[in-house]
Amino acid sequence: MLANVDNSLPRPALPGDRPRRRQSAALLGFLGVSWCVSLLGSLPIRMNGDGWYAVADKAPWTPPGWIFGSVWLVLYAAMAVAVWLVWRQQRVARRPALQAYGALLLLNLAWPLMFFGMYPMLGTAALWLALLVIGGHAVTATLAVLNFGPISRTAGLLMLPYVSWLVFSASLNLYAAVNN
């Protein structure tokens, strides 16, 4: 018998066994989709951020405007990596986790449209409706953590800062709704 020859049966495919090229393309795709949603969601902010929001009464704990873009860029990247880690698992039911990701993308588009885009038409009512959207967004992000975690612990952990930022943002939204 030769000592360096592996005579064992081929191992079954592991959950993350997808061709490297396909995995790289998928990761780039998730990053691209997430950042496209970020870009689309920023349009109402760019269109109205210098208008009513510039003179709005903001919470004393509101960070400078440039922090929002920086934080969201990182959060969208973390979300994309998290969903990619979930997507690459082949032997686990992923549908609820992937649906949560899709819902997060839609809610990411809905909130700035409601908060920044609808305020000129609806006034304070838009801020209260935006608070409902961000509340649903935080619940959906929490469900994503709960769905991602059992599939990939790293994916679940990557989503925790996202949930935290949504809760922080909801506090800013609530202050704006009460005071404007």
Res 12: pLDDT? 44
94 pLDDT above the threshold of 80: yes
Q: Compute φ and ψ for 162, nearest 5 degrees.
A: -60, -50
As given in the structure block, the two tokens for residue 46 are: 């760019």
9 pLDDT above the threshold of 50: no
pLDDT tens digits, residue range 37-91? Answer: 988 988 888 877 678 888 899 999 999 988 998 999 999 999 999 999 999 987 7
pTM of the model: 0.82
As given in the structure block, the two tokens for residue 78 are: 């973390």
As given in the structure block, the two tokens for residue 146 are: 């709960």
CA dist 85 and 92 (Å) reads 12
Cα 146 to Cα 11, 60, 62, 142: the distances in Å are: 30, 32, 29, 6
Closest CA to 169 of 52, 36, 72: 72
pLDDT tens digits, residue range 108-155? Answer: 999 999 999 999 899 999 999 999 999 999 999 999 999 999 999 999
